[in-house]
Amino acid sequence: QGVIQPLVVRKVTYDKYEIIAGERRWRAAKIAGLDEVPAIVREIDDQVALAIGLIENIQRESLTPLEEARALQKLIEDFKMTHEEISHVVGRSRSAVSNLIRLLQLNESVKDLLGSGKIEMGHARALLSLKEDKQFDVANQVIQRSLSVRQTEELVKRVLNPKPKKSTEVDPHITSLMQSLSKTLDSKTEIKQNNNKGKIIIHYSSSDELDNILKHIN
């Protein structure tokens, strides 16, 4: 059927044209043996040509998330486009554009893991909540434990909000009481306390020891 959507080109010399949009279609036409392809000739300056080329690259499915993020960032820096404007021209939601650009804030080592496919974009997005010095350590855990995106999100939450360690300090009064009981009963005694509740544990190793403890209690 040939090329359905025409290329966009601009004239650079009297007999030469530069493809602004549709290079992949042109290459596919060459492979298919087509001698002619439809094209629209436009007068476009260098800046606009660069913007159109970037936008077409972003729309390609073969770009990695980081390649796409860098291209989007270039539209912001070079053409002063907002996330909203970019979302319209590339056919993505504003949140998708913002999430892609945020990938550029990742630790460089984590970017390498994302670029090599060792972690996915969902993993990378979860890691963005961490400080850079923590991102790589957690990313390695994700890889070693083959964590899903959901599991990675839970891991990041635990890193950000660690459970407070239980105090191992024993009330001196409780220590003194345990020593006094152990001496009186002639047996090892423990007192386990939790707020205002607790239990007393008396150890014995024979029935004779138990009888002796019971005598002291009685």
Selection from 90, 78, 10 nearest residue 49 by Cα: 10
23 counts as catalytic: yes
CA distance 42 to 11: 8
Selection from 71, 27, 41 nearest residue 53 by Cα: 71
Instruction: Give the CA dihedral 19, 25, 30, 34, nearest 10 degrees.
Output: -100
Using alpha carbons only, give the angle 7, 13, 19 rounded to the nearest 5 degrees. 20
DSSP, res 129: T
Please name the residue ranges forming H helices in 107-166. Answer: 108-115, 121-127, 132-144, 149-160
The active-site residue out of 23, 67, 132, 209 is: 23
Q: Which residues are catalytic?
A: 23
